[in-house]
Amino acid sequence: MKFISWNVNGLRAVLKKGFEDRFNDLNADIFCLQETKLQAGQVALDFPGYHQYWNYAEKKGYSGTAVFTRRQPLKVVYGMGIPEHDTEGRLITLEFEDFYFVCCYTPNAQNELKRIDYRMQWEDDLRAYLMRLDEHKPVIYTGDLNVAHEEIDLKNPKSNRGNAGFSDQERGKMTELLSSGFADTFRRLHPDARDAYSWWSYRFKAREKNAGWRIDYFIVSERLMERVEQASIHPEIFGSDHCPVALVLRNP
């Protein structure tokens, strides 16, 4: 099975930049999006053979997630069942016969870490949620997780230390998650890969210089790692300030 995750930073904008062609070219079994910035009814996408699931933020033009899947899920859950976390359209969980698939757009801690307290609560509640799922069947957790975990995961770690996305607090929460029975598939398969990024600022020609961050992930339950064939990043695909990330699993 092939999975794709992409923060499109506004689906209506990326639709004007060839999104439907990219979707078809990538040919995923499950394709998920973050930061769709949509309300219900604002776009109509027709991808034959795919079921569509959308989670919209209450605030217009903000956040939002979507999942397109060839396999019909047994169940779909929007949010994590905690009201303070479930108004921004950040989480969709699909249950299949042999795994849970969780698409996530993690809240940004914002400039000067203005939202760090909320971010820490989100991380704790989300980790508990994933661990509950994992008790029943393995989990594939993906999306824009808004953190570069280690120094190897961004171009300029020293100058960004303490900034949103590379604060000790956020990195620590990722360490906690990965110590709770989960694996970062890309880093597990490519432990020494440098200059492998999924997001670049629009400023200072960052993408042209490949001065980026790896903040988009496929994280899986440890017992799924034996099925992971590929974990890759697609910087050649444009249209957003993020690029798609991919995971390929062998059939059980």
pLDDT of residue 115: 97
Q: In the chain, which stretches have pLDDT less than 50?
A: none
| 141 in catalytic set | no
Backbone angles phi, psi at 175, to 5 degrees: -60, -45
How many C-alpha atoms does 33 have within 13 Å on its Cβ side?
28
Residue with tokens 């203005």: 114
pLDDT attached to residue 252: 84
pLDDT at 54: 98
Q: Tokens standing for 18? A: 């060839």
CB 9 within 8 A of CB 239: no
Taking Cα atoms as reference points, which of 103, 36, 91, 93 lies closest to residue 63? 36
Distance, CA of 233 to CA of 200 (rounded, Å): 13
Length of the chain: 252
d(CA 165, CA 149): 8
CB 49 within 8 A of CB 27: no
Bridge partners of 2, per DSSP, are 248
Q: What residues contact residue 104 under an 8 Å CB cut-off, 6+ apart?
A: 34, 65, 90, 91, 126, 141, 142, 143, 144, 145
Catalytic residue (one of 144, 153, 184, 241): 144
**Selected catalytic residue, list 53, 56, 105, 129:** 105
First and final C-alpha spacing in the chain: 10
Tell me whether residue 124 is one of the annotated catalytic residues: no
d(CA 49, CA 46): 9
* pLDDT attached to residue 82: 97
Minimal CA–CA distance to 164: which of 205, 119, 200, 196?
Answer: 119
How big is the CA angle at 148 (ends 147 and 149), to the nearest 5 degrees? 100
